[in-house]
Structure 1
Amino acid sequence: MAKRTSPASKAAPTPEDAHTQRTFVAPELPYRPQDPPNYRPRIGLIGCGGITGQHLNAYRKANYDVAVLCDVERKNAVSRQEEFFPQANVVTDYHELLARDDIEVVDITTHPNVRPPLIEAALEAGKHVLSQKPFVLDLDVGQRLVDLAKAKNRLLAVNQNARWAPHFSYAREAYQTGLLGNLHGVHLSKRWDHRWVAGTPFEKIKHLILYDFAIHGFDFVNYLLADEKPLKVFATTTRTHDQNLLPALSATATIVYSHTQVTLSYDAATPYGQQESTYLAGSEGSVFSTGPHEREQTLRLYTKQGIAQPKLEGCWFPDGFHGAMGELLCAIAEGRQPTNNAAQNLTGLATCFAAVHSAETGEVVVPGEVRRMP
C-alpha cells in the first residue's frame, strides 16, 4: 500500500507579497483643475459648435468671464449665449471680437483646417490663445505659430483636456512627485462604442481613432515622458466585420523610447463590456486605473508601502476643459509658460502623425519625419 503524503503546504508570503497586501492612505496630490486666485480676464470664444457646450459649461462653473461669442452662423452663438452666458455679446465676424481691447484671452474651437489663420490673427491682436485639439495639421505651421506667440510675448496653449481627467491627472501627479520612480511602461487601452459619429462630420475622418481620439493618448504620454524623445512608432488599424463608417474602428500604436515602452490600444466598436484602463509601471511604484468608461474609474497606487486607493473627485467632462483654460490663466498670472503650451504639444502631434503614416504604410516611423497629417 502506497504511503499517503500530506498535501503541500501553501508557501509563506515573501516580503514582496506582504507589502503589496498592506494598504495606506493615498497621498493628496494636486490633480484637480487650478485657477489663479486674483485673475479673471474677459474671454472671447471663436466657434460655437457642438464641443463648445463642454467648454462653456466648465467656464460657467469656474466663474470665468466669457464676454463675446463668435460664430459665422449667428444662431449657434445665440444658442450658446442663451444657455450659458446671457450677458455675452454675439458676433459673426471674429475681427470684431479681436478688435476689443477688453478681451485678453481667446478660445478658438473651430476645426483644425481653418484654425491657424484665426490663431495668427488673435496673436497679432495681442491676445493669449487656447487652441482646440488637435492643434494643427502641419508641424511647420504649428512651429510658426509658436514662434509668433513668442515674438508677440503672448501665450499659446492647446486644449488637451484629457490631462485633467481625474484618473489621468492623479496618475501624472503621482509620477511627477516621484512616487513611481522611473517609468518603464505606459499602457493605455479603451474599448467603447464610437459609432455615434455616424451622420456627423467625424465619420469622414479616415483616421478618426488614431488622429482625433488617440491624440489624447499621444499627448498624455508625451507630457509624462517630456524628458525622453520618442524614437519610433508602429501602428495598425483594422476595420470591423460589419462597420459602415469610413474610419477603421480598431487601432493600436507602439511607441519606443530609450527606457520606456508605450502601447495604445483602441476598440471603438464595442457595444458590450466596455472598459478603459491606464497602467503606469515604474521602478518605485505603479498606477493602475480601470473602469467601464472615463467617467467611472477606480485607481490604485502600488508602492513599497502597499496599496492606496484615492477617492477621485470630478469627471473628465467638464473638468478637462476647466483644467486646460485654468492652466493657461495661471500661467498668464504667474508669468510662465503653461504646461499645455503649443511648443510642447508639437512632440505629441508629431508622434500622432507618425502613427497615422505607419498605419497607412506598415512601416516603423520616426516621430518628426512626417511633417503633415497624412
Structure 2
Amino acid sequence: MRTSTGSALRIVQVGLGGFGRNWAAEMIPQVSEVELVGSADVSEQSREAAVKAGVADPDRCFSTAEEAIEAVDPDAVLVTASLVGHVPAIRAALLAGKHVMTEKPFAPSVEEATELVELADSKGLTLAVSQNYRFFPAVRAVQQIVAAGELGDLHAVELDFRRFSGSDGRRGPHHFLDEPLLVDMSIHHFDLFRTVLGRDAAQITCRTWDPDWSLFSGPSEGVALIDFGDVTASYRGSWVSHGTPTPWAGEWRMDFAEGSVEWTSRGDGKDGWQADKVEIRTGDEVRQVELPTVQRTDRAGSLTEFARSIAEGRQPENSGRNNLGSLALTYAAVESASTRSAISIG
C-alpha cells in the first residue's frame, strides 16, 4: 500500500472492483497530496483481488465503509464503488465527519444527491464528484475562449461521440447496464457542456435505441437537442459506431458570431491528454490554439482538486453542489428518451 508523510490528506477508498483497483494502482499514486490509509469493499472476492494486486493492505482492508472509518480514522473517503454503493458510503462518511469524493454518477437520483449535498453543507464538509473529463488542457482552453468572448456570441454547439464497444465479441460490465450510454458515458459529455458553456441546461429532448445485434442490454445509441437558453446544443453518442472512433470527450464544433471552434480531448491510455486539440476558424483562416499546462489530468486531476480545495479551505470546482446540474441533465435525458417528450430542467 502507498504511504506518504507530512500534511497529506489521509483517505479511505471504498470500492475495490476492477475500476476501484485501477484507481488504487494508477490514479492515487500520482497525487502526493493524499495518503491511502485504508480500503473497503463488501465483496470478499474484490478485497482479495486488491490485496493480491498489492493495492490494499490486508491489515487495513475492511468489508464496509463504517468499519474502515472507525478503524483508521481518515480525513476523507474516496468512493469508487458501483452506483448502488454510492449513497450509503457517502452518507456514512459524512455522518462520521469525513470529506468525500465519489465517482460518477453521483447518486441514483437528483433528490438523493441533493440530500447528501445539504448534509455535507450542514457539517461543513467537502463533497466532490470525480467528473474527470474536466481536467484536460483542451477543456481549459475552450473555457477561456467562451469566457473571453473573443469570437462574439456563441449560438450553437455540436458534439459527436463514436466508439464500438464489443467489436471483439466480448462483453464488459457496462454492457449489462440499464443505461449504458446516457448514465455511464454521456454524463461526461453533459458535464462538459455545462463546464465549457458556464451555464445550466433548461430543456432536453432525447431519443435512444439499441440495434438488435448489439451486445448491450440497454440503449447504446442516442441523440439529443439541449437548450441552454440562447445556445442550442446537438448531441449524438454511440457505443456501436463503425465510424472513425473519437477521443473520449468526442468531437466538438462551437459556432460563434465571428468564427467557430473545433476541438477534442481525452485520448486513449495514460497520456490521453496528447489527443487534446483546439482550432479556431475565422473565414478561411484556421489557427491552432496553444493549450495550457495541466499538472495532473483525468481522475488524478479530480483527486488533486479535491485534496487542494480542502487544504485551501474552498469549494472544489467539481463540488457535489455543482454536479447537481450535470446529474439533473443526465436523468432528464433518460426521462425524455423514455417518455419521448421534451423535459424541462431546474
Deviation, 1:283, is 4.6
2:203 aligned with 1:223: no
Looking at structure 1, the residues matched to 328 and 206 of structure 2 have their Cα atoms a distance apart, in angstroms, of: 14
Give the counterpart of 1:73 among 40, 43, 49: 43
Which stretches in structure 1 are left out of the alignment for 5+ residues? Answer: 1-37, 369-374
- State how 1:1-374 maps to structure 2 within 5 Å: 39-56=7-24, 57-63=26-32, 64-81=34-51, 83=53, 85=55, 89-100=60-71, 102-176=73-147, 182-195=153-166, 199-226=171-198, 228-271=199-242, 273-275=244-246, 276-283=250-257, 286-290=260-264, 293=267, 295=272, 297=275, 299-302=277-280, 307-310=287-290, 319-368=297-346
**In structure 2, what residue type is equivalent to 1:365?**
I
3-state DSSP of counterpart to 2:84: coil
Looking at structure 2, the residues matched to 303 and 83 of structure 1 have their Cα atoms a distance apart, in angstroms, of: 48
Say if 1:175 and 1:77 are closer, same or farther in 2 by CA, change over 3 A: farther
Looking at structure 2, the residues matched to 177 and 40 of structure 1 have their Cα atoms a distance apart, in angstroms, of: 36
Deviation, 1:281, is 3.3
Provide Cα deviations, 1:92-128, integer angstroms capped at 9, x if missing partner: 2321211246411111112222321211110011111
Provide Cα deviations, 1:293-314, integer angstroms capped at 9, x if missing partner: 5536351332779613436878
Say if 1:301 and 1:100 are closer, same or farther in 2 by CA, change over 3 A: farther
C-alpha contact (below 8 Å) 1:46/1:110 kept by paired residues: yes
Q: Which region of structure 1 is more displaced relative to structure 2, 41-50 or 275-284?
A: 275-284
Deviation, 1:198, is 5.4
Looking at structure 1, the residues matched to 95 and 121 of structure 2 have their Cα atoms a distance apart, in angstroms, of: 11
C-alpha contact (below 8 Å) 2:138/2:265 kept by paired residues: no
Provide Cα deviations, 1:168-216, integer angstroms capped at 9, x if missing partner: 3433344345555543233221111123795444323232101211000
Say if 1:292 and 1:231 are closer, same or farther in 2 by CA, change over 3 A: closer
Structure possessing the higher relative contact order (Cα contacts under 8 Å, 6 or more residues apart)? 1
3-state DSSP of counterpart to 1:240: coil
Say if 1:180 and 1:303 are closer, same or farther in 2 by CA, change over 3 A: same
Q: Which region of structure 1 is more displaced relative to structure 2, 184-193 or 152-161?
A: 184-193
Deviation, 1:249, is 1.9
Looking at structure 1, the residues matched to 57 and 214 of structure 2 have their Cα atoms a distance apart, in angstroms, of: 45
Higher Cα Rg, which structure: 1
3-state DSSP of counterpart to 1:103: coil
For the aligned residue pairs, the C-alpha RMSD in angstroms reads 3.0
C-alpha contact (below 8 Å) 1:74/1:90 kept by paired residues: no
C-alpha contact (below 8 Å) 1:180/1:303 kept by paired residues: no
Looking at structure 1, the residues matched to 264 and 315 of structure 2 have their Cα atoms a distance apart, in angstroms, of: 32
**In structure 2, what residue type is equivalent to 1:43?**
I
Provide Cα deviations, 1:324-359, integer angstroms capped at 9, x if missing partner: 111111211111111111111111111111111111
Say if 1:86 and 1:139 are closer, same or farther in 2 by CA, change over 3 A: closer
Q: TM-score, normalised by structure 1?
A: 0.78
Looking at structure 1, the residues matched to 159 and 21 of structure 2 have their Cα atoms a distance apart, in angstroms, of: 27
C-alpha contact (below 8 Å) 2:155/2:231 kept by paired residues: yes
**In structure 2, what residue type is equivalent to 1:154?**
L
C-alpha contact (below 8 Å) 2:262/2:279 kept by paired residues: yes
Looking at structure 2, the residues matched to 204 and 210 of structure 1 have their Cα atoms a distance apart, in angstroms, of: 13
Say if 1:355 and 1:150 are closer, same or farther in 2 by CA, change over 3 A: same
Paired residues in the alignment total 328
Deviation, 1:164, is 1.5
Looking at structure 1, the residues matched to 152 and 21 of structure 2 have their Cα atoms a distance apart, in angstroms, of: 39
